[in-house]
Amino acid sequence: MDRSEDQILVEELAALGAASGGSGRLTGLVARLLRKNAHEIELVIALPFDEAVQHVVTVLAGAGRPGRALQVDSGRDQEMIRVVTGGGVGGLNPVVVTAQVRRGTEAGTEVRLRAAAKEGLVKQRAGEKTAARLAALLSP
């Protein structure tokens, strides 16, 4: 992926600040100082690798914000899919979701799902909640 999780979160929060009539630049500066709430979940999907990748792409594309591109990084034995979705109260807090799909065993394909969001004064645990919600959608 070309941009880091933190860069994406700062840019998303700055855009949100600018859209609400505030200073996007100031919001971006403050966002750099905020703590990040990240959560990872390991899954095994009982599908062959190519079908599992397509399943993950479909689920994450459905969770992503309209107008935002889904990023896919391909490799021989793994695929990385990243999307920005909304979390927290009203779905306004940007959450970066990254799924690493790896060729597994005969039992299925391994998926490491990571969701990260910036936390303000009110702890919403948007990263944890988003990871759990998407893991439930990915599991059969």
Residue-wise pLDDT tens digits, 22-39 = 666 777 777 777 888 999
Per-residue model confidence (pLDDT) at position 105: 79
Please give the DSSP secondary-structure letter assigned to residue 64: S
Is residue 18 a contact partner of residue 111, using CB atoms and an 8 Å limit?
Answer: no
- Give residue for tokens 């990571």: 114
Neighbours of 87 (CB within 10 A): 26
Q: Given a cut of 90, is residue 140 above it in pLDDT?
A: no
In this prediction, residues 55-73 reach a mean pLDDT of: 79
Cα–Cα distance measured from residue 61 to residue 78, given in angstroms and rounded to the nearest whole number: 18
pTM of the model: 0.85
Name which of 138, 64, 140, 126 is nearest 101 in CA terms.
Answer: 138
